[in-house]
Amino acid sequence: MRRGMTLVELVMGIVALAVVTGGALQLFVDAHAASVNAMYMQRAAAAGRALMSDVLSVDAWDEAATSLTGGQTRIATASATIGAEEADRDLFDDVDDFDGAVLDSATAWANASAVPADAWITGRIDVDFVDPASLQPRSNPTDVKRVRVTVEWMPIDDYPSSLTLTSYRSNL
């Protein structure tokens, strides 16, 4: 004859159900956080690519090269510099003019063409001389400049919340 559940069995069953439900809920929360972070990462990567392409659209590798035809003639490395000679993005004419640019507001993003203005994204541009062989940063002028665009976004749990794009321009 079939008997009903005892109170102990019933309580055990409820506890087991609670454990399973709690685990499933946590999985759902984790999956949601991962998908939101993936969306942030995608938007940040798009912003980073747009920003990098804005920097590289100013093709000349150095101010001294901009006065030369096409801006691609080799110049004396010692005369190369890092930094903006112009006050405004519209007047930038070599890649290191963007060094130190921090983009953290709609106005600043708007200054870079085709870069989406997401309030939760911040960007920074760094240009450095690097050793041509090791590509490690150097304080003295070299024939290669590294352009890094770092984009950060609102962190979620322990997921990555920044990415860096890197390009190089050389003293051809």
- The SS3 call for residue 10 is helix
Q: How far is the CB of 161 from Ca ion (least distance, A)?
A: 31
Q: Does 96 bind Ca ion (CB under 5 A)?
A: yes
Q: Does 99 bind Ca ion (CB under 5 A)?
A: no
Q: How far is the CB of 135 from Ca ion (least distance, A)?
A: 20
Q: How far is the CB of 129 from Ca ion (least distance, A)?
A: 12
Pairs from 42-47 (Cβ < 8 Å, separation ≥ 24): 43/116, 43/118, 43/121, 43/153, 44/121, 44/151, 44/152, 44/153, 44/162, 44/163, 45/151, 45/163, 46/116, 47/109, 47/115, 47/116, 47/118, 47/121, 47/123, 47/151
Residues numbered 35-64 forming contacts with Ca ion, rule: CB under 5 A = 63
Q: Does 97 bind Ca ion (CB under 5 A)?
A: yes
Q: Does 85 bind Ca ion (CB under 5 A)?
A: yes
* Phi, psi at 151, each rounded to 5°: -115, 130
Task: Quote the CA–CA distance of 145 and 45 in Å, as a whole number.
Answer: 22
Q: Does 118 bind Ca ion (CB under 5 A)?
A: no
Segment contacting Ca ion (CB under 5 A): 24-32, 71-79, 88-96, 142-150? 88-96
Q: Does 30 bind Ca ion (CB under 5 A)?
A: no
Q: Does 94 bind Ca ion (CB under 5 A)?
A: yes
Residue ranges in contact with Ca ion by CB under 5 A? 63, 85, 93-94, 96-97
